[in-house]
Structure 1
Amino acid sequence: MSSWLFSGFVFIASVVCLLSTKPSILLIIADDYGFHDIGYHDSEIRTPVLDKLAGEGVKLENYYVQPICTPTRSQLLSGRYQIHTGLQHGIIWPAQPNGIPLNDTLLPQKLKELGYATHAVGKWHVGFFKKDYTPTQRGFDSFFGYLTGSEDYYTHTRRNGFPGWPECKNWEGVDLHHNEKVVRTENGTYSTHLFTQKVIDIINQHNTDHPLFVYLPFQAVHEPLQVPESYLMPYMHIEDHNRRIYAGMVSAMDEGVGNITKALRTKGIMNNTVIIFSTDNGGQILNGGNNWPLRGWKGSLWEGGIRGVGFVHSGSLQNRGSTCYSMIHVTDWYPTIIHLASGDVSDMELDGYNQWDTISSATPSKRSEILHNIDPGVTIFNQTSAFRAAIRVGDMKLIIGDPNNGSWIPPPGMPCPGHCIVNNIPSNGTWLFNITADPEERNDLSSKYPIKVKELLERLHAYNQTAVPVRYPPPDPQANPALHNNAWVPWNEL
């Protein structure tokens, strides 16, 4: 055998060896999952699988996401603040021609460059009006799930294309897809079970010569409140109807994660898999979720809307069984995951930081501040929404404008110590909190420290100088599922 041919074999073997030693990554997102609703936060809801994974890994107790669905997912997948992608106002509604800009390289695209098999199962919700914005066009080898933001857990149908526009209130269509094909054969299959099984199938069929990336944004535990009756039995003591169903939904999700980890062990790759678990925003107290003792809930810039449940499980963690109190943000997952995949993001304009050493070894966080958001408001249908913004620098957090409801809501049935319900929050206020000393945001320091308020306002102004214009287009009549065989699919291919 010639020396150049032998060298070629050695090179190929080295590449295969390198690919196989990279960790597989399972990234799980729980939808509308409350800060109080995981077992290790003293919840009455049972989450034995999540508790065990978190207890064997590193719990993140100073971890931040966004107040609502699309902004968190866009920041997770792009590694960029929403002010830099134009998604700083709200979610993407089904009839809106919007999405993460195509010039942003998404996380799965980068991982594919690094030799990963990439799969997404569950909720997309970052744009689908054109085919180019759908998961299989943005780095995923396969996609099984739904493109909009919510739907029925059993029929997998979605109604209403855009709120406030009567013409599309009754638009309804199937929203379940395998790659680019509409799936109509799973009517009656509960989505948590369906998505769990699809991930298990991916694991079972995976070629271990390559590392695996699975993105699992569960539908659970977003409304509508639906769950098989068997999951309600442990919670019959919960009198509140919504809370009882919600608890069952959490249990179904917890069981699903357990079944997936069993599949990883059976496949023999659990020891070389990094599991990241995150919420997408605070729990929705109107639909059973709870964020006690934090203030506010989904949709607000109070801690209850943006402080997330998060943990990492991996055999390579040096600090296993610990709790991390360093500042971590959802944009940090992009560079952290690429670091785990032996990649480089030094040439990319990201807002996240590689936090692996902080999580694994308790080194100081590379992050000293978090821009929670700057939403200038939008005008649509002759109605203008309110301005609001928030930033955290070190221990101090500034909120200005309209942060949304700032009540403290205990779980149903728990007595409310001290003051809980707040009904007189001004829509143009200014609040300053020492979040480290006062995570419940009970002591406004804005009048006491005006210089600090001015300092944080200047930081907000500096960020705003880098912001791109908000993209929040009106609904497009061509999105109507009735025009597309009663399915939610890309509709604009011009």
Structure 2
Amino acid sequence: MFFLWAPVSLFLSFVISHTWSVQMSWDTWRTEPRNQGDEFEKPNSQPHIVFILVDDQGFRDVGYHGSEIKTPTLDRLAAQGVKLENYYVQPLCSPSRSQLMTGSKNVIDTTCHPSKALKSQQVSDPHWPSTLHHSSFPAQLPSTGKCHASPEAKRSRLRYPYGSGDYYSHYKCEGPGMCGYDLYEGEEAAWEQDHGLYSTVMFTRKAISILASHNPRKQPLFLYLAYQAVHSPLQVPARYLERYKGIPNLHRRKYAAMVSCLDDAILNLTLALKRYGYYDNTVIVYSSDNGGQPFAGGSNWPLRGSKATYWEGGIRAVGFVHSPLLLNKGTKCRSLVHVTDWFPTLVSLGEGTLDEDLNLDGYDVWESISEGYPSPRQDILHNIDPIYIKAKNGSWKAGYGLWNTAIQAALRVGHWKLLTGVPGYSDWVPPQTFSSQRLTNRYHNERIRWDRGKSIWLFNITADPYERVDVSQHYPHIVKKMLMRLAQYNKTAVPVRYPAKDLRSNPQYNSGVWGPWYKDEKEQEEEQYNNFFTNHLGKTSWKDKSKNRKLKRKMKH
């Protein structure tokens, strides 16, 4: 079933568009018996699951990792839950999201090349929405926010197909003459539902309306809330910028303000979970999709590298689990956890079933998180990219005849991490870098020049989480074993599909919106037929609609 917009009166009492009710503590929130059904009705044994995925939040960009950014809500939720301090994702948006949804790695599930993951995803791959609904969860699992990967995305309530456009107008440009509207309600462009709200506020309101319209005692709820924040462009309501006047770097100041706005959003969501009777039986998972981008204000210090790299700064993520159902609250989980593990973990937690022939790469890690047991996961294939072979000194010889080290690849096994090829931007970016007005000034960055001619690295991540001491020359037997493991993984990969850009995807050919654009011959004939009558009946074109909407918004601001 689809969840409709709730009446404004249901949630304006605690979500105010311009002030956000952040002064109230959830400990003192007055719970009212709304939408909870008959008080004698037997409650669900299955927990509600709320998965919050944020975009481009750096490892250091949360209060409990020592940031100057104030995140009291995230700090408290994490402190009362379990902090995931050995938690990994992929270095870019789409691969992390596809692996989250399928429980499979890109190198195996055919979304091999990150920049083309959205185009090459197999629609037939199992997704956790289709798996969970065989349990007692709704057939249409409510989700809202940025998609950027999943074929299930069209079932989302309010969503961005791509999610890196303007936070207010919800337009995205890929270049001159290639701009379009990027907000949907279900399968249709959300022209009528769009009121020009800042996306963090908009998605939170939508999530709360879903909570308000559902009976938590009658049926378990899975809510997937994928924020656009804190991805560029760096936009934020002015009142949040006031908090960070002391940060001279404009990018960092705006980024910090966006994180604070996000923190307020999570507070309002948590208050709603309490108000509507979900909280005591809910598992909240919080995760970033990749590391932060220093050139857009993010910080991964003291980790090395940034988003889009296979250094720890690109793939070790902020993450925690908060729930009254946790057995070991207030702890840190240092067991190895990967984004693919959420698929089997949450399906099992929701009492769903997993077919034996799925061949998932993820593991059920609930006992590791909740009770502190060792993780069943012992290794992570971060990636193998056979297209990216830019290491000039890479060769089969450097790989002991076992692996061509020109290929970009990264593998973690136990304490050890191996990288080959060109792992990406490798600087450490300390906090003082942001004291200058321009991020292009790298004077404060710690730069490594002696490894430019290298094509293979080995680190003991447990002893050296900041990747400062390459020990590949000291442990050649470990290097050889891990190169053999890479070669074994590579045998399971399918050929990379990396299609060229197709101009038919331009929004100007698709009613001015981003979204699915491929049509077979029958669909094209029907569209031509409909367009003929539309043009001759003189209906307003998408260009006129777009122009009128922009004029209205300018008048509002």
Q: TM-score, normalised on structure 1? A: 0.88
Q: Give the alignment of 1:80-229 within 5 angstroms.
A: 80-92=104-116, 98-117=119-138, 118-126=141-149, 133-136=151-154, 140=155, 142-160=156-174, 169-185=176-192, 186=194, 188-208=196-216, 209-229=218-238
Distance 1:266 1:397, change over 3 A: same
* Secondary structure of the structure 1 residue equivalent to 2:225: strand
Paired AA for residue 377 in structure 2: R
- The answer on whether the counterparts of 2:432 and 2:444 sit within 8 Å (CA) in structure 1 is no
Q: Distance in 2 between matches of 1:17 and 1:454?
A: 58
**1:76 Cα shift?**
0.4
Cα distance in 2 for partners of 1:419, 1:333 equals 35
Alpha-carbon distance, 1:396 to partner: 0.4
Kept after mapping to 2: 8 A contact 1:58/1:319:
yes
CA distance in 1, matches of 2:509, 2:53: 32
Provide the residue aligned with 1:78 in structure 2. 102
Change (3 A) 1:92 1:227: farther
Residue in structure 2 matched with residue 493 of structure 1 by the alignment? 519
Q: Does 1:473 align with 2:496?
A: no
2:294 is matched with 285
Aligned residues: 453
In 1, Cα distance between the equivalents of 2:266 and 2:252? 21
Q: CA-to-partner distance for each residue in 1:41-76, whole Å, 9 max, x for gaps? A: 010000111111101100000000011100100110
Partner in structure 2 of residue 164 of structure 1: none
Label 1:177 to 1:414 Cα distance change in 2 as closer, same or farther (>3 A): closer
Distance in 1, Cα, partners of 2:349 & 2:68: 35
Cα 1:312–1:469 change in 2 (3 A) is same
Aligned pair in 2 of structure 1 residues 174, 414: CA closer, same or farther (>3 Å)?
A: closer
Q: Distance in 1 between matches of 2:62 and 2:116?
A: 28
CA distance in 1, matches of 2:198, 2:444: 41
Give the SS at the match of 1:113.
coil
Q: Give, in angstroms, the shift of residue 412 of structure 1.
A: 4.0
Partner of 1:69: 93
Code of the residue aligned with 1:60 in structure 2: it is L
RMSD over aligned CA atoms reads: 2.0
Q: Secondary structure at the match of 2:459?
A: strand
- Asked if 2 retains the 8 angstrom alpha-carbon contact of 1:333 and 1:352, the reply is yes
CA contact (8 A) 1:243 1:412 kept: no
Give 5+ residue unaligned stretches, structure 2: 1-40, 390-405, 436-441, 521-557
Q: Deviations over 1:269-300 (max 9, x none)?
A: 10111000001000011100000000000000
Find the aligned partners of 2:162 and 2:434 in 1 and give their Cα distance.
35
Amino acid at match of 1:221: V
The answer as to whether partners of 1:156 and 1:187 remain within 8 angstroms in 2 is: no
1:17 positional shift:
5.6
Give the fraction of aligned pairs with identical amino acids, expressed as a percent: 46
Q: CA deviation at 1:207?
A: 2.6
Amino acid paired to 2:256: A
State the structure with bigger RCO (CA 8 A, min sep 6), 1 or 2: 1
Which of residues 272, 282, 293 in structure 2 aligns to 1:273?
282
CA offsets 1:304-340 (integer angstroms, 9 cap, x no match): 0000111001111110000011100000000000111
The answer to whether the 8 A contact 2:252-2:434 is kept is: no
> Residue 92 of structure 1 contacts residue 126 of structure 1 at CA under 8 Å; is this kept in 2?
no
Contact 1:405–1:425 (Cα < 8 Å) also in 2? no
Residue 365 of structure 2 is matched in structure 1 by 355
Q: Secondary structure at the match of 2:133?
A: helix
Native 8 Å contact 1:28 1:276 kept in 2: yes
Q: Which has the larger radius of gyration?
A: 2
Residue in structure 2 matching 1:434, options 453, 460, 466 = 460
Aligned mates of 2:287, 2:361 — CA distance in 1: 18
Give 1:302's aligned residue.
311
Q: Deviations over 1:199-224 (max 9, x none)?
A: 00000011321111111110000000
Are the aligned partners of 1:240 and 1:412 in contact in 2 as well (CA < 8 Å)?
A: no
